[in-house]
Amino acid sequence: MPLVTKCERRLSYTSAFLSQAGRLEVTNSIFTSFPMFCMSTFKLYKTMIKQVDIYRKHSLWIGADINDRSPSKAAWELVCLPKSGGGLEVLNLQTQNEALLLKNLHKFYNRLDIPWVNLIWERHYSSGALPNSSNRVGSFWWKDILKLLDSFKGLAMVNVADGKSCLFWNDLWLNKVP
């Protein structure tokens, strides 16, 4: 909730005198940057993303008057498309949240020398077993990240190195097949 109240307070400072381009810039620079740190650490609930999107919509279409109930000028899915696709390139927070969390799986599988990576390897995978879709062990934070494991394996290519973080029969190799 601190994230949502921060967005709400900032919306009241948004000037009603900004042009549409100025409002787009405020939406992209301020309201999209507020949840970035949280999104790189935790999986945000859909209700929280919806609430932040409400403030982003108000900033883009209405301005400072939060009580104005005039309809939006375009569907939010269209606004989130790239400019080449007819959109305004406003970030989709759900997709951004998943992409930022996938970076944690990259750090884990490459065994980067980071305290949390070492802790998870020693605490849950010291026997040499690797995480998979069925055995999700660890904290709520780690379990949320492991939900993205199939997406990560679909994007990542295996780099054998010392062989401790790859599965010969299950990981994707050349031509993206196991």
Query: DSSP letters of 5-26?
Result: HHHHHHHHHS-TT--HHHHHHH
What pLDDT, on a 0 to 100 scale, did the predictor assign at position 98? 93
What pLDDT, on a 0 to 100 scale, did the predictor assign at position 38? 83
What pLDDT, on a 0 to 100 scale, did the predictor assign at position 126? 83
What pLDDT, on a 0 to 100 scale, did the predictor assign at position 19? 78
Q: Is the pLDDT confidence value at 91 over 90?
A: no
The dihedrals phi and psi of 11, each to the nearest 5 degrees, come to -60, -35
CA dist 55 → 87, 107, 178 (Å): 19, 33, 44
What pLDDT, on a 0 to 100 scale, did the predictor assign at position 103? 93
What's the CA gap between 168 and 68, in Å, rounded? Answer: 58
The dihedrals phi and psi of 112, each to the nearest 5 degrees, come to -65, 150
What's the CA gap between 141 and 26, in Å, rounded? Answer: 31
Enclosing H/E stretch for 90: none
Helix residue ranges per DSSP H, the chain: 2-13, 20-26, 36-41, 46-57, 76-79, 93-109, 115-124, 140-146, 149-155
Q: Which of 37-41, 155-159, 160-164 has the lowest mean pLDDT?
A: 160-164
Q: Are 72 and 56 in contact (CB under 8 A)?
A: no
Q: Is the pLDDT confidence value at 61 over 80?
A: no
Mean pLDDT of the chain: 79
Mean pLDDT along residues 162-169? 64
Q: Is the pLDDT confidence value at 123 over 60?
A: yes
Q: Is the pLDDT confidence value at 66 over 60?
A: no
Q: Which residues contact 154 (CB under 8 A, 6 or more apart)?
A: 172, 176
Nearest alpha carbon to residue 88 among 61, 52, 64: 61
The 8-class DSSP code of residue 81 comes to S
What's the CA gap between 44 and 18, in Å, rounded? Answer: 30
Mean pLDDT along residues 169-175? 65
